[in-house]
Structure 1
Amino acid sequence: MYKKVLIATDGSATAAHAAEIGIDVAKASGAEALILHVGDPKAGKKVLQQVEKSLAVSKVPLSTMSVSGDPADMICEVAEKEGVDLIVVGNKGMTGAKRFLLGSVPNQVSHHSPCNVLIVKTT
């Protein structure tokens, strides 16, 4: 079904739950998983190490990537460049005025993604 699943994370509990679901989908599909952090590269390295460690028991082939930029734009761009079949994101993103002006990251990803998007309900 899927060959490569991109799992976006920001290190939050919401993203951790989405990562667990994403790994389950990857495992069921026999896919590899790409764990992506968008933001500060220094913080991203730590977040990715934690996520990679927590998902290692799944035995799903994992790779990680950290990039800077607008989260929704970068998630879609990386998905395109990496030939991803499915993007997995949590349903929580920006809040308050920023969300009102820009829209949520999951919403933007779902509208601009080059592939299917799974938005994991975490609340």
Structure 2
Amino acid sequence: MDAQRTVLVGTDGSASSFTAVERAARLAADTRADLVIVCAYQPLSGPELVRAQEELGEEAYQVVGSAPAEESLRAARARAEAQGAAHVQLRAVEGDPVTVLVRVARECSADLLVVGNRGLRSLAGRLLGSVPADVARKAGVDVLIVHTT
């Protein structure tokens, strides 16, 4: 793999995604690359939000609005800097995770897109598609799928 200039990593605030952030940060530090950390979010409100929170349980942070995304990004930055990443950019973007990651990778001319493997083997991943698998198919750049589970 050639030296990277820009490494992009997605996080959703989960422990699994923070493992991917740490791996991306080490790669960025080793190659002196910029690190772009992206959190896609899909806000809901009213009865739709209550229903989603009941059904999603601990995954509900993904549907509350941009505040949880900003919190996830701050936590991810701290983890990235602890791994030695020097040039860290944060982006909270409303939208579907796959669409957001692919679009931001193009916008920032990422050389490498890093995601965790969570969702690859789940029933929901098989039925609905998984972020890692869909990103790998659609990204148009090298994708590193980190074993996080």
Normalising by the residue count of structure 2, what TM-score does the alignment of the two structures yield? Answer: 0.76
Q: Which residue of 2 aligns with 1:6?
A: 8
1:11 CA displacement: 0.8
Residue 87 of structure 2 aligns with an amino acid whose one-letter code is P
Q: Deviations over 1:34-72 (max 9, x none)?
A: 010001312101111111122223142101000011111
Distance 2:30 2:116 in 1: 19
1:35 to 31, 34, 37: 37
Residue 77 of structure 2 aligns with an amino acid whose one-letter code is E
1:66 to 80, 84, 92: 92
Distance 2:138 2:113 in 1: 11
Gaps of 5+ in 1: none
Aligned positions, number: 122
1:24 to 10, 26, 32: 26
1:84 CA displacement: 0.7
2:76 to 47, 51, 68: 51
Which structure's CA Rg is the greater one? Answer: 2
Q: Percent identity?
A: 33
Q: Which residue of 1 aligns with 2:55?
A: none
Whether the 8 Å CA contact 2:25–2:81 is kept in 1: the answer is: no
Residue 116 of structure 1 aligns with an amino acid whose one-letter code is D
Distance 2:119 2:90 in 1: 20
Residue 21 of structure 2 aligns with an amino acid whose one-letter code is A
Going from structure 1 to structure 2, the CA distance change for 1:2 and 1:101 (only over 3 Å counts) comes to: same
CA-based RMSD of the aligned residues comes to 1.5
Going from structure 1 to structure 2, the CA distance change for 1:20 and 1:11 (only over 3 Å counts) comes to: same
Gaps of 5+ in 2: 42-64
1:105 CA displacement: 0.3
Distance 2:118 2:142 in 1: 18
Q: Which residue of 1 aligns with 2:59?
A: none
1:93 CA displacement: 3.4
